[in-house]
Amino acid sequence: MISRQQIRQFLAVVDAGNFSRAAAAIGLTQPTLSAAINELERQIGARLFIREKRAIRLTAAGSRLLPLARNIDRDFRLAEQETARTPALRPFARIGIIPSLADHVVQRLVAELQRAHLIEVQEGRAADLERGLLSGKLDAAISLVEPGIADRQRATPLYTEPYRLLLPANHELAGQPLVNAVDLANQPMIARRSCELLGRTSQFFTERGVRPPFSFKSHNDQRAITMVAAGIGATVAPATFHREGVAQLDMQDFDFQRTVAFLLPASRSLAKESEEALLSAAQNAARTIRALSGL
């Protein structure tokens, strides 16, 4: 579904005649606007602009969209004028959350966000959430800071956490402050299929000649950690995945970490006060999460 934000971006490019002037007119960077138009073209299934060296021209598809876009934009403006005359219910803020967060982390974040604003929560991979922010389908997201994201979204880091080895609390290695990969050569492992680090973890063990057997594989992180507590294997997970019956250990040369952040789209979709309230709520939750997890 095409959003109003996309309609406004399309019209800005048409009216300005090139991406640089259009981006400046609506307060975006040129790469952000270009990415937004690319996403709109992907949704429509056709190119909208012929990009030349100093200017742009509408394609046939773009020419067909233009009068429709003008009418949609006009109707939106009329609706705003009419509804501004009467009190309106505050709309839901659409919040995206990545699946690889511990349940207690999600609970604290969502509870704080809900106290600040009515919210609708959608779960998705980091790449899907970013596309949602870009297309206007999401108003904010709890996701990871990845290379280049600051150029496309407004990212505020909430906390940074290391990845650790998780073992049953009664495991013979559980009392050691540091373990080597070779110590796990015959240790059954549990694969968290939703882990963003899954490929790099596999490479880490393979490079050290360690190929442990897998006793369980799951996209459900909480079930995977439960299996660790039950004693059938070990896994690698972010430090916030702590629970009774599970010990966390550092591994030699395994220094991976991730930063969880509150993301807002480059072009504001909520009122400024709503954005500020949601950001403050996420930061409040993050302070508790850091304290409970020793970050």
Q: Exposure of 268 by Cβ count < 10 A (0-12 exposed, 13-18 middle, 19+ buried)?
A: middle
Residue 83, pLDDT above cutoff 70: no
Q: 276 and 150 share a domain?
A: yes
Q: 194 and 119 share a domain?
A: no
Which candidate, 164, 158, 163, 162, places its Cα nearest to that of 288? 158
Say if strands 257-265 and 189-192 run parallel, antiparallel, or are unpaired: unpaired
Residue 292 lies in a domain: no
State the angle between helix axes of 30-44 and 126-135 in degrees (0 to 180), rounded to the nearest 10. Answer: 100
Q: 184 and 44 share a domain?
A: no
Q: Which of 83, 111, 141 is the last residue of a domain?
A: 83
Q: 151 and 265 share a domain?
A: yes
For position 84, what pLDDT does the model report?
58
Residue 293 lies in a domain: no
For position 11, what pLDDT does the model report?
87
Q: 111 and 154 share a domain?
A: yes
Q: 104 and 222 share a domain?
A: no
Q: 216 and 268 share a domain?
A: no
Which residues on neighbouring strands pair with residue 50, listed in sequence order?
57
**How many structural domains is the chain composed of?**
3
**pLDDT of 24-38, one tens digit each?**
888 888 888 888 888
Residue 230, pLDDT above cutoff 90: yes
Q: 25 and 72 share a domain?
A: yes
Residue 87, pLDDT above cutoff 70: no
pLDDT band at 77 (very low <50, low <70, confident <90, very high): confident
Strand ranges, E, within the chain? 49-51, 56-58, 93-97, 119-123, 140-144, 153-168, 178-179, 189-192, 214-218, 235-238, 246-251, 257-265
Rounded Cα distance between 204 and 266, Å, is: 36
CATH number, domain at 123?
3.40.190.10
In this structure, of 47-56, 162-171, 242-251, the range with the lowest mean pLDDT score is 47-56
pLDDT band at 209 (very low <50, low <70, confident <90, very high): confident
Angular region, 231: left φ>0, alpha ψ -120 to 50, beta rest: left
pLDDT band at 225 (very low <50, low <70, confident <90, very high): very high
**pLDDT of 234-277, one tens digit each?**
999 999 998 889 999 999 999 899 999 999 988 777 888 888 99
The model scores a pTM over 0.85 = no
Q: Which domain holds residue 144?
A: 93-158+258-287
Residue 112 lies in a domain: yes
Residue 149, pLDDT above cutoff 70: no
